[in-house]
């Protein structure tokens, strides 16, 4: 087990909060209205009685960011911190993040943000990744323990049937990795004021994105008197002809 002091852990947390917000901001600034609109249901917007472009824009942005936040946080925060504090070897093949080896056992961890991390194909691929690693390690003649580790949650299961891996979540996962029963609490405690500092800067970019999207939406999908042109919006989203948006240079 790697022993990480409070100051070192706080530095690690700060570093990876920086990375999380850097990726989050890049996602926000890189999003375009075409991509956002083609993934949403215009009929639902109309059915909900929405009458303002600002409401549609807010929903588009919130849905997009919410769907990507979990993945970004796992990749930028949970996974690198788990690697840093585990005391194990980093990597071990595709889909394997940490390898810990004792005299009798090789334990392979795949680190995910939370227990609801993937679709059926991704789960199947993860099982294959564990199996591939086990095949490569047979020559060591040691027991092989694959583990899906989640940064938060309460899912803690042992191998059963085709699920040949353990699952460890939240406190149980971090304690197994570090030997510290309170490590999961330290992660939240040592975030301190850093998220608030990032949030202020992030909100500046959020407002810019809202303004940019609202301007583009009104340029393309509003009537001369200011109403939403619903038929034009549906044609763009669902029509057979591919259309391009008019982007204002202002």
Domain 88-186 classified CATH 3.40.1560.10? Answer: yes
pLDDT of residue 134: 92
For 132-189, give the DSSP string. HHHHHHGGG--EEEEEEEESSS---B--BTTB-SEEEEHHHHHHHHHS-TTHHHHHHH
The full length of the chain comes to 250
Rounded Cα distance, 242 and 231, in Å: 15
pLDDT of residue 249: 53
What does pTM read for this prediction? 0.86
Q: Is the four-CA dihedral 74, 77, 83, 85 of positive or negative sign?
A: negative
Checking DSSP bridges between strand 98-101 and strand 105-112, what pairing results, if any? Answer: antiparallel
Instruction: Please give the chain's pLDDT, 250 residues, in tens.
Output: 556 789 999 999 999 999 999 999 999 999 889 889 999 999 999 999 999 999 999 999 998 888 899 999 999 999 999 999 998 888 778 889 999 999 999 999 999 999 998 889 999 999 999 999 999 999 999 999 999 999 999 999 998 888 889 999 999 999 999 999 999 999 999 999 999 999 999 999 999 999 999 999 999 999 999 999 999 999 999 999 888 887 765 4
Rounded Cα distance, 188 and 174, in Å: 13
Q: Which CATH number fits domain 11-83+193-250: 1.25.40, 2.120.10, 1.10.10, 1.10.3250?
A: 1.10.3250
* Angle in degrees, CA 17, 67, 243, rounded to 5: 125
pLDDT of residue 106: 94
pLDDT of residue 1: 52
239 burial level (CB within 10 Å; 0-12, 13-18, 19+): exposed
160 burial level (CB within 10 Å; 0-12, 13-18, 19+): exposed
Rounded Cα distance, 88 and 99, in Å: 6
Q: How far is CA 165 from CA 196, 206, 250, in A?
A: 38, 40, 55
Rounded Cα distance, 86 and 22, in Å: 25
Residue ranges per structural domain of the chain: 11-83+193-250, 88-186
């Amino acid at each position: 087990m790697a022993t990480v002091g409070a100051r070192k852990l706080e530095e690690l947390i700060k570093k990876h909060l920086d990375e999380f917000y850097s990726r989050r901001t890049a996602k926000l600034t890189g999003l375009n209205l075409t991509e956002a609109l083609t993934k949403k249901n215009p009929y639902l917007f109309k059915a909900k009685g929405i009458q303002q472009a600002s409401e549609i824009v807010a929903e588009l942005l919130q849905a997009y960011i919410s769907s990507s936040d979990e993945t970004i946080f796992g990749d930028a925060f949970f996974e690198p911190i788990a690697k840093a504090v585990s005391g194990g070897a980093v990597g071990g093949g595709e889909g394997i993040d940490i390898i810990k080896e004792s005299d009798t056992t090789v334990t392979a961890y795949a680190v995910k943000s939370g227990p609801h991390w993937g679709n059926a194909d991704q789960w199947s691929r993860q099982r294959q990744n564990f199996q591939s690693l086990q095949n490569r390690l047979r020559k060591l003649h040691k027991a092989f323990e694959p583990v899906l580790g989640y940064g938060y949650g309460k899912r803690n299961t042992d191998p059963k049937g085709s699920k040949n891996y353990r699952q460890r979540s939240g406190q149980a996962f971090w304690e197994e990795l570090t030997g510290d029963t309170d490590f999961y609490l330290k992660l939240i405690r040592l975030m301190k004021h850093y998220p608030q500092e990032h949030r202020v800067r992030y909100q500046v970019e959020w407002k810019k994105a809202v303004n940019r999207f609202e301007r583009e939406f009104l340029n393309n999908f509003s009537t001369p008197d200011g109403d939403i042109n619903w038929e034009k919006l549906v044609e763009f989203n669902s029509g057979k002809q591919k259309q391009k948006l008019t982007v204002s240079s202002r």
